[in-house]
Amino acid sequence: MLSPRIFFASEISVIYFNLLFFMILGCQFTCISPNSIGFLSPMPEDLDVNTFYDIRREEFEALHCIYPELKIDKDFTVCTIDIPIHLETPLTLRFQNKETSICNLPALHCRIELPYGYPEFDPPIVLFENINSWLDGKNVNRIYSELYKIWEGFKDAVIYSYLDYVRSESRFAFHLYLHGELVVSNEEDFRLLQYENYREKQRIFEQGTYTCDICQMEKKGDECSQFPYCAHVFCNICLKDYFTHIIERGEIENVHCPSFTCTKERNKAIIELTRKAEEGKIADFKEFDDEFFKLPVSPDLMRRFLLGETKEELIQRYMSLYEQTSMERYAKFFPNRVANCPRSFCATTFIKKDPDNKLAICPGCNFAFCSQCLHSWHGDINSCSIYKKKIPEDIILKWIDNNGQTPNKQTSEERETCSNIIYKYGKKIIELAASEYIAQVQFEELVKSGDADITQCPSCSTYIQRSDGCNKMTCSKCLVFFCNLCGDRLNRNDPYEHYNNPLNRCFGKLFQGMVPEEDG
């Protein structure tokens, strides 16, 4: 007959290693029963049940001293515990094209039941919850096999060994993700793991004590807020006063982490974004837009320290002003991508889906209008502007010089230059502007050559072609008199004096170049 015994620290160390390993296995409700796979042994006929009861009670009581959060039933046959999982090395969590870094997995809920044959004849019966978001059944069974080996090696009290094994191995996600990536198959699991990671980080943060970088006082974490990108910590009272003041004054450029270091870094980032836009050196346009319009402080973080009835009003004002100032800056760099609703009661500023398309539909009031003339939409057939006037000449020349119309002959540098121009103005618009520019240059060269007998009016710059008559021309637009030979403006009271004055270079050339009439 077995006699009751007291477990010493070395034995309890072995016991706890088993239990923790099972708890890590998580979200899916998984019951691993030794009986279902033939682990339960036949019981001896002379087995004293009371002796095994005493052994279980002593083991549970010893475990409860180490883990006060351990819950034990009144019969000392079942215990449950939640084990937090803090990863030694962060994992990259992926779902399709989304990814984020996590350093915590959902806390493992573990239920351990001790059969009458435990510990000498049968291993514990383990039940896991909270694992299916990151661990499949195959890996659960593999982990259980390791736990069974622990019991088989001792055939003694092993719950502490189970727990210790799970707790230590869970820090490395049981070595299941050797490349540091956890890929999930659905968005629900992605969001769950992302949220659980955030919640655990927040729980740990709130238990700590921090020195506010503004008032220099020590505060508990639940009285503070931490900026996620830089990890700077400030007390909520200081943050409330600081952000309320600058938002009410409309100083949106100052809405960011108040740290002096972050202020310098943010200014550098804005300068770098501006440089890329001005120089046309944007390699990834989506990444540029995401960075350009990213809120420096999330509304959720603001809700943590902004208090009172005006909290939501302040947050809404902040988001509205930030969007407005960002759009204004963006429009300076990419004028053809930004449109303003012409309706005075709306006046929404937004980014067009297609910069090549003059049609713009306001997301605020659904008004369809032409983004160039700002009138209600008149269709593509009715022209309302000259493209060339919308684009600086140096940009058009840069497009032409970089083979914008022959992409198969472009170098990588030329292709990047043209891509940036297209992103800013639209492919169709820059091509039309370049065509107009080339046509204009060729036309001006033709005028200078004199072969087409075309002269530009010295008053309104309208091009006039003489079809017949003398060299005294009258502009059909502004009615100014000018000389077809030299382009000089003529005296309106005596326009022929220009041809009768021996000192003028056009002296006696009033009829020069006239086409003689053919004899009938």
CB proximity list for 328: less than 8 A, separation 6 or greater:
349
Which of the 8 DSSP states describes residue 402?
Answer: T
368 close to 347: Cβ distance less than 8 angstroms: no
pLDDT grade, residue 233 (50/70/90)?
A: very high
The amino acid at 318: Y
Distance CA 165, CA 7 (A): 19
Residue 467: pLDDT over 80: no
435-455 confidence digits (pLDDT tens) = 777 777 777 777 677 666 778
Distances (CA, A) of 101 to 90, 104, 105, 181, 206: 6, 10, 11, 9, 21
Give CATH for domain 9-184. Answer: 3.10.110.10
- At 217 the pLDDT is 95
Residue 498: pLDDT over 70: yes
Query: Has this prediction a pTM greater than 0.85?
Result: no
Q: Which residue has better confidence, 363 or 45? A: 363
What rounded mean pLDDT belongs to the chain? 80
- At 259 the pLDDT is 92
225 close to 239: Cβ distance less than 8 angstroms: yes
pLDDT grade, residue 249 (50/70/90)?
A: very high
Domain ranges of the chain: 9-184, 208-328, 389-445, 458-520
From the CB of residue 436, how many other CB atoms can be counted at a distance below 10 Å? 16
Distance CA 205, CA 359 (A): 50
- At 232 the pLDDT is 94
Helix or strand run (H / E) with residue 70: none
Range 122-134 average pLDDT: 83
Range 482-509 average pLDDT: 88
pLDDT grade, residue 299 (50/70/90)?
A: very high
Q: Which residue has better confidence, 67 or 417? A: 67
Distance CA 314, CA 254 (A): 15
- At 349 the pLDDT is 87
Task: Indicate the range of 183-197, 262-276, 397-411 predicted with least confidence.
Answer: 397-411
| Nearest Cα to Cα of residue 84 among 102, 108, 103, 112 | 108
CATH of the domain spanning 208-328, picked from 3.30.40.10, 3.40.640.10, 3.90.650.10, 1.10.3720.10: 3.30.40.10
335 close to 391: Cβ distance less than 8 angstroms: no
370-391 confidence digits (pLDDT tens) = 887 777 787 766 666 555 456 7
312-328 confidence digits (pLDDT tens) = 999 999 999 999 899 88
Range 131-147 average pLDDT: 82
Per the DSSP assignment, residues forming a β-bridge with 94 are 99, 183
Range 1-19 average pLDDT: 38
Q: Which residue has better confidence, 43 or 422? A: 422
128 close to 49: Cβ distance less than 8 angstroms: no
Sequence-separated contacts (24+) of 374-379 with Cβ below 8 Å: 374/340, 374/342, 375/342
49-87 confidence digits (pLDDT tens) = 566 677 888 888 898 899 899 998 888 889 899 988 899
SS3 245: helix
Distance CA 79, CA 517 (A): 118
pLDDT grade, residue 215 (50/70/90)?
A: very high
- The dihedrals phi and psi of 66, each to the nearest 5 degrees, come to -85, -40
Q: Checking DSSP bridges between strand 359-361 and strand 454-456, what pairing results, if any?
A: unpaired
